Amino acid sequence: MRLAEREIQNTGDPILLHPQNKKPIGIRHALLALEQTYGKSVVSRGPGFRKQTVKGSRITLHFDSVGTGLMSAKPEKINSFAVAGADRKWHWADAIIKYNTVIISSPAVAVPVAVRYAWAMNPSQRNLLYNKEGLPASPFRTDDWPLFRPGKDESIDVNKPKKPSDYTPQDWTRPAMTP
């Protein structure tokens, strides 16, 4: 049974987070039910952070639920990872998908310690991580530092976008899901 066609799907809105297009959310729930309730062998969720390994100036992130591989939502560079050293100063990171891992680095962080992914009130304007089945990775962090330090976390936008008075919700484009 084919649950989704291989077309681009729109889900969610950059300001009003409740999507107008409910079909992708229904497909995600159906996939979870097929796997967890009916015991079917399907990829039912997006990439989940498993562990990180640090080597020199890079952090390699390892994931489970990668399905047939990792991909970004758009063909551009992934720009949804931030990295920090022991000084706890966050910098947007360069991210490269290599097989089933993502390699993180930043010229501003010589010795990286921690990574945050999609760590913002609304990360929808960033190029996010998916598996090739079209299921998104959930936001995560590899640190256990305080979540927010007023006036100190300038590089990560933590403010919810303001809704203009004449705003019309518009779902954003994300990869299609396939079983």
Domain ranges (residues) in the chain: 8-44, 46-142
Task: Annotate 66-124 with DSSP letters as a single string.
Answer: -TT-EEESSSS-B--EEEE-TT--EEE-EEEEETTEEEEEBTTBSS--EEEES-SS-GG
| pTM (2 d.p.) | 0.78
pLDDT digits (tens, 9 = 90+) for 97-155: 999 999 999 999 999 999 999 987 667 778 899 999 999 999 999 999 877 666 665 54
Q: 13 or 165: which carries more pLDDT confidence?
A: 165
CATH code reported for the domain at 46-142: 2.60.40
